[in-house]
């Protein structure tokens, strides 16, 4: 039983190492960019996979918490395990990484909203009536 538990911990550590692996030196890496992309992809996947279940909750704030949990957690893991602000104490660094992961998620939501508005604007200004048949 204990051996199985140790293997799970080792696999989880290997997964975390894969999340933060990069060929660039640690000073040149951008953990904010990597965590932003990870938050965007994980938000889209969580929304795509669980939209019916989450929409059954009925309250907007509960839905937002469910959708935000995985992207914020992954952004936090990437920021905390990177070479970003290693000079801070563990508690300060964890609080800063948590704050920045929430800010990154808010930025992801803002970017998705702006993208949707721009796509709608481009569609209605250039492709109005694209589905109509012209003879």
Overall average pLDDT of the 52-76 stretch:
86
Whether the predicted pLDDT of 106 surpasses 60: yes
124, HSE (Cβ side, Cα atoms, 13 Å) = 5
**Cα-only R_g, the chain:** 20
Rounded to two decimals, the pTM is: 0.68
Tokens standing for residue 104: 């990154």
Angle at which helix 60-81 crosses helix 2-20, to 10 degrees, equals: 80
The answer to whether 103 and 68 have CB atoms below 8 angstroms apart is no
Overall average pLDDT of the 67-73 stretch:
91
């Amino acid at each position: 039983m204990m051996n199985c538990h140790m293997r799970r911990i080792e696999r989880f550590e290997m997964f975390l190492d894969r999340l933060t692996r990069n060929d660039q030196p640690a000073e040149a890496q951008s953990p904010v960019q990597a965590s932003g992309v990870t938050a965007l992809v994980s938000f889209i996947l969580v929304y795509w996979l669980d939209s019916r279940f989450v929409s059954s909750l009925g309250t907007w704030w509960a839905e937002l918490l469910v959708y935000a949990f995985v992207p914020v957690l992954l952004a936090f893991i990437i920021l905390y395990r990177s070479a970003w602000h290693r000079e801070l104490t563990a508690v300060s660094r964890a609080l800063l990484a948590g704050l920045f992961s929430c800010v990154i998620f808010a930025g992801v939501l803002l970017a998705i909203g702006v993208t949707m508005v721009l796509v709608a604007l481009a569609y209605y200004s250039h492709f109005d009536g694209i589905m109509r048949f012209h003879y």
